[in-house]
Amino acid sequence: MKIIAREEKVRTGEKILLFSPTIDDAQQLADHANKVFAETKFLSVGPEDGQKTAEHEIKWIESVDKAERSLIITGKINNQIVAIGNLSAKSNQRFQHRCGLGISIQKDFWGKGIGTIIMKLLLDYAKKLDFEIAELSVVKDNVAAYYLYKKLGFEEYGIFKKALRYQDGTYADLIYMIKEL
C-alpha cells in the first residue's frame, strides 16, 4: 500500500516529507538502516546482523507494495531519509485484526517530534485498514519511545526478559505494548 505524500513541521520548525518509498529510494533506505543499527541498541537488529543493501530494500519495498494491508512511511528532511515507519499485517487468518508497528529514527533527529508524527500517521492508516489492535515492542531502556507509545494510548501487556542479547554479552528486556483502535 502507498500513502499520500505530505509535509509536516517538526518541533524545530523544519519540514519533514512523509511518503511511501520507491525502488529509487532503496540505497537511501539501506544507508538509513545501517546508520541507525550502528547508533543505537534500541532496535531488534544491529550491525552484527550484516549490512543492509539496496537489493534487500528493493525486495522489502516490492513485498510491501504488493500487500494490501502493509505500508512503509519514509521521512525526509533536507532530501535525506531520517526516519522510517512501517505497518505490517499479521499472516495468520485469526490474527488479521492485528497489525505490527515499528519506527526507526536517526539519532541526530531524536526529540524533534518525528516519532509522534509517524506513529500517529501509522495509527490513522491502521484504522483505515480496519485493524482493531496495533502492537509493538520497545526495549525497556528506551524511555523516550516507551513514553511516546504511552502518550498515544498503548498499554503494556508483558515483558520478555533478556529478549535481546548483544555482542558484548549484555541483555535487554522488551516491553510488549498494544493499542485498541
Residue 144: Cβ within 10 Å count: 12
Note whether residue 13 is domain-resident. yes
Note whether residue 85 is domain-resident. yes
Note whether residue 152 is domain-resident. no
Note whether residue 78 is domain-resident. yes
Express the helix, strand and coil content of the chain in percent, nearest 5 each.
35, 35, 30
Note whether residue 164 is domain-resident. no
Report how far residue 76's alpha carbon sits from residue 4's, in angstroms, rounded to the nearest whole number. Answer: 14
- Look up the domain containing 65 and give its range: 6-135
Report how far residue 69's alpha carbon sits from residue 23's, in angstroms, rounded to the nearest whole number. Answer: 19
pLDDT for 81: 98
Of the candidates 74, 41, 75, 66, which has an alpha carbon nearest to the alpha carbon of residue 171?
41
Distances (CA, A) of 85 to 21, 114, 121, 136, 142: 11, 10, 9, 12, 17
The tens-digit pLDDT sequence of the chain (181 residues) is 899 999 999 999 999 999 999 999 999 999 999 999 999 999 988 888 888 999 999 999 999 999 989 999 999 999 999 999 999 998 788 999 999 999 999 999 999 999 999 999 999 999 999 999 999 999 999 999 999 999 999 999 999 999 999 999 999 999 999 999 9
pLDDT for 105: 97
**Looking at the 3D structure of the chain, how many domains does it have?**
1
Report how far residue 96's alpha carbon sits from residue 101's, in angstroms, rounded to the nearest whole number. Answer: 14
pLDDT for 76: 98
Residue count (the chain): 181
- CATH number of the domain where residue 50 is located: 3.40.630.30
Note whether residue 178 is domain-resident. no
Note whether residue 169 is domain-resident. no
Note whether residue 161 is domain-resident. no
